[in-house]
Amino acid sequence: MHSITLADGTPIPTLGQGTWRLGERGADRGAEAAVLRLGLDLGLTLIDTAEMYGDGGAEEVVGEAIAGRREEVFLVSKAYPQNASRTQLPLACERSLRRMGTDVIDLYLLHWRGAVPLAETAEAMERLKEQGKIRHWGVSNLDVADLEELGPHLKNCAANQVLYNLEARGVEFDLLPFCQNELMPVMAYSPLGQGGALLRHPVIRRVAERQGATPAQVALAWTLRNPGVISIPKASNEAHLRENLGARLMVLTPEDLLELDSAFPPPRHKRSLEMI
Beta bridge partner(s), residue 186: 160, 229
Q: Please report the pLDDT score of residue 236 as a whole number.
A: 82
Q: Could you report the per-residue pLDDT of 140-156, keeping only the tens digit for each? A: 999 999 999 999 999 99
Q: Are 117 and 149 in contact (CB under 8 A)?
A: no
CB contact set of 260 (below 8 Å; sequence gap of 6+): 166, 203, 204, 207, 222, 252
CA dihedral 137, 141, 142, 143 (to 10 degrees): 140
pTM, rounded to two decimals: 0.97
Q: Is the pLDDT of residue 124 over 80?
A: yes
78: Cα separation from own chain's centroid: 10
pLDDT average, residue stretch 205-214: 97
Q: Could you report the per-residue pLDDT of 94-111, keeping only the tens digit for each? A: 999 999 999 999 999 999
pLDDT above 90 covers a percentage of the chain that reads 94
- Tell me what percent of the chain is helix, strand and coil, each rounded to the nearest 5: 45, 15, 40
Higher pLDDT, 236 or 92: 92
Confidence bin at 211 (pLDDT 50/70/90): very high
Q: Name the DSSP letter for residue 107.
A: E
**Is residue 53 annotated as a catalytic residue, yes or no?**
yes
Q: Please report the pLDDT score of residue 1 as a whole number.
A: 58
> Mean pLDDT for the chain?
96
Confidence bin at 242 (pLDDT 50/70/90): very high
Beta bridge partner(s), residue 126: none
Cα 102 from Cα 15, distance rounded (Å): 22
Q: Could you report the per-residue pLDDT of 159-204, keeping only the tens digit for each? A: 999 999 999 999 999 999 999 999 999 999 999 998 889 999 999 9
Q: From the candidates 53, 108, 164, 189, give the one annotated as an active-site residue.
A: 53
Q: Are 43 and 1 in contact (CB under 8 A)?
A: yes
